[in-house]
Amino acid sequence: MFDFLKKKKEVPIDHSAQSFYAVATGKVIPIDEVKDPVFSQKMMGDGYAVIPSSGDIYAPINGKVLSVFPTKHAIGLKMSNGLEILLHMGVDTVELNGDPFKIKVAEGDAVTPSTLVAKVDLEKLEKAEKSNEMIVIITNMDAVDQYELTNKGEVEASAEVGHVTVK
């Protein structure tokens, strides 16, 4: 009845290394090679991108969906260690108002690297002259102890590409 008087149990932070995965079949590149300076200069955080050969886009982490942007070009995710991840699909794609994106998840959904989170019409991105880089960014870098991209180049979707530990 008086639950508000009870102390909340603190959830311990998982300091073990957690993995990042390729969001699509294609080529993994470090974030500093992304064509947009906001991402390549790490203004939003560190991470990586996949230049996809397929429009099937999978979750980059084990975690849950925090938000789906109304323009469908980005999905906010959270890892069990508290890190917040942004999956940004393409560069300057917000102005497309969601047209090339079919989102397959909703806020609160649990995701794994085998979860299809979106289908992207890569031809529509090309016709709109937009870069198709699928960018994965750790947005709360202040909580990161170590981040490493360990697998660059050609990969299959859901292949492990890096890991992170928190402070």
The answer as to whether 36 is a domain residue is yes
Which amino acid would we find at residue 120?
V
- 126-129 long-range contacts (CB < 8 A, ≥24 apart) are 128/93, 128/96, 128/100
The answer as to whether 25 is a domain residue is yes
The answer as to whether 92 is a domain residue is yes
The residue among 155, 117, 157, 125 whose CA lies nearest residue 23 is 157
The residue among 88, 154, 138, 143 whose CA lies nearest residue 117 is 88
The answer as to whether 96 is a domain residue is yes
- Confidence band (pLDDT; 50, 70, 90) for 24? very high
Q: What is the pLDDT of residue 12?
A: 63
Q: Which domain holds residue 109?
A: 15-166
Q: Which two tokens stand for residue 144?
A: 């990161």
Average pLDDT over residues 4-27: 77
pLDDT above 50 (res 1): no
The answer as to whether 120 is a domain residue is yes
Average pLDDT over residues 3-30: 78
pLDDT per position as a tens digit, 88-125? 999 999 999 999 999 999 999 999 999 999 999 999 99
pLDDT above 60 (res 7): no
Q: What is the pLDDT of residue 77?
A: 98
CATH number at 90 reads 2.70.70.10
pLDDT above 70 (res 61): yes
Annotated catalytic residue, options 15, 73, 88, 163: 88
| Residue 88 annotated among the catalytic residues of the structure | yes
Q: Which two tokens stand for residue 17?
A: 């290394």
Average pLDDT over residues 47-67: 98
Average pLDDT over residues 127-140: 97
pLDDT above 60 (res 4): no
| Neighbour count for residue 19 (Cβ, 10 Å) | 15
Total number of domains in the chain: 1
Q: What is the pLDDT of residue 37?
A: 95
The answer as to whether 10 is a domain residue is no
- Confidence band (pLDDT; 50, 70, 90) for 57? very high
Contacts of 77 (CB under 8 A, 6+ apart): 59, 60, 61, 63, 64, 65, 66, 84, 85, 86, 87, 111
